[in-house]
Amino acid sequence: MVAAPSPMGAPDASGRFGSFGGRFVPESLVPACMELETAFSEAWADAAFRARLSSLLASYAGRPTPITECPRLSAELGLDIVLKREDLAHTGSHKINNVLGQALLAERMGKRRLIAETGAGQHGVATATAAAYFGMQCAVFMGEVDVERQALNVFRMQLLGATVHPVRSGSRTLKDAVNEALRDWVASVETTHYCIGSVMGPHPYPFLVRELQRVVGDEAREQYRERYEGADPDVVVACVGGGSNAAGTFAGFAETAARLVGVEAAGGSAVGHGVPGIVHGMRSLFLQDEEGQVLEAESISAGLDYPGIGPEHAHLAELGRASYEAVGDAEVLAAFQVLARTEGILPALEPAHALAWVIRAARDKTLAPGTKVLLTMSGRGDKDVAQVKEMLA
Ligand SMILES: *Cc1c(COP(=O)(O)O)cnc(C)c1O
């Protein structure tokens, strides 16, 4: 018997997931992308590399992160909710899984400098953390507007030894920071690895980052089966900015019968309101105006304000293997408070989006009573407490 192809297999040779993905970069970056593709496929097939990464994830990042049952929240909603606790990982989110993997890969390629783009600063902080651990140089590109808005994260990166470059072009936010990082990479590719922060960018990044994040889904499935006598959840839910925590989570469950749901911010809903386009080296769905200019995403959670979505999610949406929902700021604020009150966990505003959808779906019976839900708690809410206080005032 021939097994059906997995809905989350590897992309084709040109880096496409269906009609999305690919590698749309200047001529000068093609060799760097190809070098990375080869290095990653060799490393990923090398048991010694995998063992080294696992041991680093265990001793430094605190893996495996637990799953946590939520009896009081479950009773309130009439569901059976379990959280995958990426909020308990070092630096407070799933981002550490990606940056440690890419730093280890950079080391293997003989590159001693990491560059990264960042919006809210979280991926910049994660990359600076990995660079500090490996004793590498680190430069982070950040829109000038974000540098002003996220002064504390700029200081964090500096404490970790990184240089932060304010980007003054365009709207001076995340999408301009990506362009500037790509520009640096063209000039520095001999010595530098570009550490992309989500399942986006030119091939092989969407695949590479998903594989580095699949530890979330693989662990969760194993832990869930152990806890529930071999059963899988009915629904697996994760928030989507670029889509890395969701892709890593979904990868663990793609071959189960679980329904996969990605939740976007209403003001950044690339699946709901985006159109196909080629931006940042990939073909995917982006919020664009009539002239095809990429729009700013708007969200109370800075980590979800990417105006596009990773190409594999666009493909999963097209296949119908995953569905994508959008929630508004008021629902997110309510979800933040509900989890704090019922379970003693302050979620980051990003995964509070995933919970907001679960709450809505419980109320309108989209999820039948008793539905078993696994939700990826992608990060902790400490960073958002001041903002929540202001919004509730
Ligand atoms: C960065 C971030 C996200 C969004 O990124 P994805 O690539 O979509 O996972 C979600 N949650 C938290 C806590 C984050 O820090």
Q: What is the pLDDT of residues 210-233, one digit of tens each?
A: 999 999 999 999 999 999 999 999
Task: Classify 171 as helix, strand or coil.
Answer: coil
Q: Using the mean position of ligand 1's atoms as its centre, give its distance from the Cα of residue 2 in Å.
A: 36
Is residue 33 among the annotated active site residues? no
Q: How confident is the model at residue 66, as a pLDDT?
A: 98
Is residue 94 among the annotated active site residues? yes
Query: Residues in the chain with pLDDT < 70?
Result: 1-5
Quick one: which of 143, 147, 210, 149 has its CA closest to 171? 143
Q: Where in the chain is the domain with CATH 3.40.50.1100?
A: 16-57+94-194, 62-93+213-392
User: φ, ψ for residue 163 (rounded to 5)?
Assistant: -100, 130
CB atoms within 10 A of CB 230: 8
- What class is the 62-93+213-392 domain? alpha beta
257 residue type, one letter: A
Residue from 98, 208, 245 to probe ligand 1 pocket by mutation (most atoms less than 8 Å from CB): 245
The predicted-structure confidence for 297-309, as pLDDT tens digits, reads as follows 777 877 787 889 9
Q: How, if at all, do strands 67-69 and 16-17 pair?
A: unpaired
- What class is the 16-57+94-194 domain? alpha beta
Whether 101 is in the pocket of ligand 1, judged by its Cβ within 6 Å, is no
The predicted-structure confidence for 133-191, as pLDDT tens digits, reads as follows 999 999 999 999 889 988 999 999 999 999 999 999 988 888 889 999 999 999 999 99
Question: Which structure tokens are listed for 176?
Answer: 């301009």
Whether 310 is in the pocket of ligand 1, judged by its Cβ within 6 Å, is no
Q: How far is CA 172 from the centre of its chain?
A: 22
* Contact (CB, 8 A) for 241 and 275: no
pTM for the whole thing? 0.97
Q: At what angle do helices 30-44 and 205-227 cross, to 10 degrees?
A: 30
Whether 301 is in the pocket of ligand 1, judged by its Cβ within 6 Å, is no
Q: Using the mean position of ligand 1's atoms as its centre, give its distance from the Cα of residue 102 in Å.
A: 17
Q: How far apart are CA 33 and CA 248, in angstroms?
A: 22
